[in-house]
Amino acid sequence: MVPISLKERIENATIILEGKVISQAAYWDETQTHIYTANTVEVYKVFKGQLTAKQVEIITRGGIVGDRMERISNTLELKVGDAGVFTTIPNKAKINTTTQLTKLKAYAGIQGFIAYDTTNATANDVFNNYKNIPKELHSKIVDQTKSNFKTIQKAPFKIELQ
């Protein structure tokens, strides 16, 4: 796997958001060839892009439908409760979920999610650690996008840009 810089992820993502996975459901694609998981994410902040919804679906490859499981190596796997920053692009996989939520996928796959440790206000992705979320992560995103984040709803944790 080749590291993709935070700068490149910020540049290429259409929507960058802070959120938390609150539920998951797996679905077959339209041809019944691959399984995808729709991760419902509660949105707290939007750093880049046009988004006002309080929830979105982040679509990831793999999952379990009935007695069938598909698992893909080196792809993003989320769990309910995972919180952090998602660098996303529109999802193009043809799946029919049961919601009308905006469907996105992580830009750069597994590198498109920067997981928070809300107890220590730290974060990490596959290749990087951020010892101070507001200073080392949020401020870099704000500086590069040249705009402040927009709060959609209050997060259940406190990590603020100083």
Unique residue bearing structure tokens 């993502």: 13
pLDDT digits (tens, 9 = 90+) for 118-146: 888 899 999 999 999 999 999 999 999 99
Label residue 161 by pLDDT band (50, 70, 90).
low
* pTM to 2 decimal places: 0.94
Per-residue pLDDT, averaged over 41-63, amounts to 97
Q: How far is CA 70 from CA 21, 34, 37, in A?
A: 20, 7, 10
DSSP state of 141: H
Q: Can you name the CATH fold of 6-151?
A: OB fold (Dihydrolipoamide Acetyltransferase, E2P) (2.40.50)
Under 8 Å between Cβ of 55 and 40 = yes
